[in-house]
Chains A and B, each alone.
Chain A
Amino acid sequence: MTDKNGFFDLSRSALTRRTALKGLAAGAGLAVAPGFVRYSQAQSSAPIKIGFQSHRTGIGAAYGRWYEKTTAAAVKAINDAGGINGRPVEVIIEDDGTDPGRGAEVVGKFASQHKTDIVYGTLFSHVVIGSAPAAGEAKMPYFVVSEGHHVASTKLNRYVFQPGITDVKSQIQSMAPWIAANAGKKVTQIFPDFAFGYDHRDYLPPALKAQGAEVIAQIAIPPTESSFTKYFPQIPAETEVIYHVMVGPAVLTFVKELGEFYGSNRPQLFGFIDSLEATDINSPGLEFLDGSHFWEGSPRYAQPDDSPAQKAYRAAVGIDDNGAAVGDPKDVSTAAHMFGCWETLYVVKKAMEDAGYRGPEDRAKLVEATEALTEFAEGPEHPQGPKTFNGKIHQCFGIQNISKVEGGRLNVVHKTKIEDGLYEPEGNYTTQAL
């Protein structure tokens, strides 16, 4: 390539003293312009900045959108009630593209450019795992709403917390007795071929074995797969229960093709609602799911025994009795997960108040104050239900819902207890240096 126009020829761009002075003046002007000044006066008036690592694009985009709605509702509620330590909360959103590499960059951007107080909000487990080292390096408290076991496994670092949603290991352990007793003893697992799926692959077999049931086949499917029929011959004929947990945009196809493959003569189905989050349960092709069961973190459909706190939460976030956006019944929410955003923000509020948090210099104090938390009572701040928190493994424990598809809606048929999901800690974050 030749430089015909001389763009790269420095001798041709005459930098005169006048242009240099102009440039300097413009730069100085920018620095004193309104908006460029940093808050130098009392810390108390500046907002607390929460960096929200959002899956705005990529395979997690539907979750990202509803995580943003829930976050906006929670922040509004917190600010209306006086903010945190008397300071307003400001959320800064950066898109991570549901990509681990980009996720780590976003954490870096929050730390060095936006100078946020914490980073929060990630769902997809591979993004969490990819971003956690960056958060640890920047000594940036990182509150995820991810459902994976990676936080509680203590394989991440001291700055990563999951106080608003339970982890897969705990979920599986508390539901295994119900599956073995009500669905069947011979289970075939279908799961996505990445971190979140591996939690299911690793923790379901021992949990079922403890109940006298067994996993007879495990089928891993790449998360970007768009056609599934080719995997179904691997399902053994003696299968009594298909345990499915799928994520990404092709989940509807997965269920439809399963329906075409089996017709009415199907094994029992037990799925994680992740397979159908943000998807209308009455979509064409899903009739096949009638009578099957799903795990739900928080029920999508309003239940007869909903607490006043649950009702208030649904109204604040703007979802109707069917779990769709108020005014748009086709815009179905990710209700089973997004409550975790709401609850996590209230945990952050509590921990910041306990720590007397003033600014980034108090991040270590915030970590210690979060680790000191033990219990979250059910109420407006924790509408999904009561929770306990283990500060050593940075993970909360709570109740799970098992719902049945009946008459085109999901009805909760079983709620587990907090104790059902407790397990021996695998390590201890608090021994790590801050």
Chain B
Amino acid sequence: MHFGPHLLLAALEGLVTSAVLALTALGLSLVFGVMRVVNVAHGEFFMLGAVLAWAISTAISGHPALGFLAALVLAPLIVGLIALVAERLVLRRLNYDPEATIVATIGMLYIIQQLALTFYGPEARPVEPPFSYRILLPWFGYSGYKLSIIAASALLLIATWLVLTRTKIGLVMRATQYDSETAQAFGIPVTRVYAGVFALGAMLVAVAAVLIVPISQAHYLMGQDPLLLSFIVVIIGGLGSLRGTVLAAVLIGLSDGIISVFFSPTLAKIIATLLVAMVLVFRPQGLFGTASR
């Protein structure tokens, strides 16, 4: 294949990765930014989203788009609810202590994963995409659905940004992130904000999972890869920085796509990890993060 089309394919693949990565990393970044909780179980909420998408779309007969749309609405809601319960039962009882919550979320990771294995099983199950239009380029074919993922993710990112910057809920969240004690002194119900943010983070990652599942199937171990990549993105972008997270996601996604098409996927992972190391050495707060006070 010639260089031009080859690069186009690489860029398309990279953009799809970026789109999903931006949503998953954003959830992780929000939870850390506001609550100072490193949520190791984040990837399992991704997996739950995909598994629920499978369950919902197979329960609804008729055109595949119906089941998919239902999954797109219901799966994040259910995952959000589960996150809310987890927050109430576990994180709050630990007073959001940074070290204790890491251990607790590792526990949650295994509990969720094993429950999925018990009740859903070890198989990878497919979800039919809402539409299966194949874009025919002169050199190769490409899935139209994959392109729609990029658009959907961009819309969701803009919506999240609007909520954070233009609404009262966003204001309250930012206030809590900035200084939770002062926020509490001003009558902001900080624990309720924490619960909401934890649920929102889980919902974002669940949406990403519903979007990706028609091209990658639901499987109980699928949460590990997104977790690792999300951490890479969040560290590079700066923990708690929305803009940094999105830019780092595009950077990592595109470089992953292009390097793995032209060289090897292993090299792409090596470079991403090296980048993390460089950022940690030279700019520990991340490219767009602010130094902690």
Contact = CB atoms under 8 A, between A and B. Distances in A.
B122 A283 contact: no
Interface stretch (A31-39, A61-69, A362-370): A61-69
Contacts of A284: 64, 126, 128-129, 132
Contacts of B222: 226, 249
Contact of A250 (B1, B9, B124): B124
B9 A249 contact: no
Nearest to B256: A230
Interface in A206-242: 222, 224-227, 229-230, 232-233, 237
A58 interface: yes
Contacts of B129: 284
Nearest to A287: B132
Nearest to A251: B124
Nearest to B58: A330
A64 B122 contact: yes
B179 interface: no
B126 A59 contact: no
Interface in B244-282: 257, 260-261, 265-266
A209 to B, nearest CB: 26
B10 interface: yes
Contact of A225 (B121, B122, B124, B265): B265
A233 B143 CA distance: 15
Interface residues of B, number: 34
Interface string A260-294: 11110000000000000011000111000000000
A222 B266 contact: yes
Interface in B121-141: 121-124, 126, 128-129, 132, 134, 136, 140-141
A230 B261 contact: yes
A61 B122 CA distance: 5
A112 B257 CA distance: 48
B141 A260 contact: yes
Contact of B216 (A59, A227, A232, A279): A227
Contact of B215 (A58, A232, A256): A256
Given A284-B126, A285-B126, A230 B13 contact: yes
B6 A233 contact: yes
B123 A227 contact: no
Interface string B128-170: 1100101010001111000000000000000000000000000
B217 A229 contact: no
B219 interface: yes
A57 interface: yes
A261 B140 contact: yes
A57 B122 contact: yes
A230 B9 contact: yes
A62 B216 contact: no
Contacts of A153: none
A278 B140 CA distance: 30
A56 B117 CA distance: 10
B78 interface: no
Which of A62, A249, A283 gathers the greatest number of chain B CB atoms within 10 Å?
Answer: A249
A57 B117 CA distance: 8
A44 B17 CA distance: 61
A142 B141 CA distance: 48
A230 B10 contact: yes
Contacts of A253: 215-217
Given A57-B122, A62-B122, A250-B216, A262 B13 contact: no
A233 B1 contact: yes
Contacts of B217: 249-250, 252-253
B221 interface: yes
Contacts of B225: 224, 226
Contacts of A224: 225
Contacts of A65: 121-122
B124 A229 contact: no
A252 B124 contact: yes
A262 B217 CA distance: 21
B141 A230 contact: no
A233 B221 CA distance: 28
Nearest to B135: A260
Contacts of A226: 216, 222, 225
Contacts of A250: 124, 216-217, 219
B134 A263 contact: yes
A61 B117 contact: yes
B221 A58 contact: yes
Nearest to B258: A230
Interface in B87-128: 117, 121-124, 126, 128
Interface of B: 1, 6, 9-10, 13, 17, 64, 117, 121-124, 126, 128-129, 132, 134, 136, 140-143, 215-217, 219, 221-222, 225, 257, 260-261, 265-266
Given A230-B261, A233-B261, A284-B132, 11 more contacts: A61-B117, A61-B123, A62-B124, A226-B222, A227-B216, A233-B1, A257-B143, A260-B143, A263-B136, A284-B64, A284-B128
Q: Which 9 A-B pairs have the closest CB atoms?
A: A61-B122, A249-B124, A249-B219, A284-B128, A230-B261, A260-B143, A233-B1, A263-B141, A230-B13
10 contacts: A65-B122, A222-B265, A227-B216, A230-B9, A233-B1, A237-B1, A250-B216, A251-B124, A256-B215, A263-B134
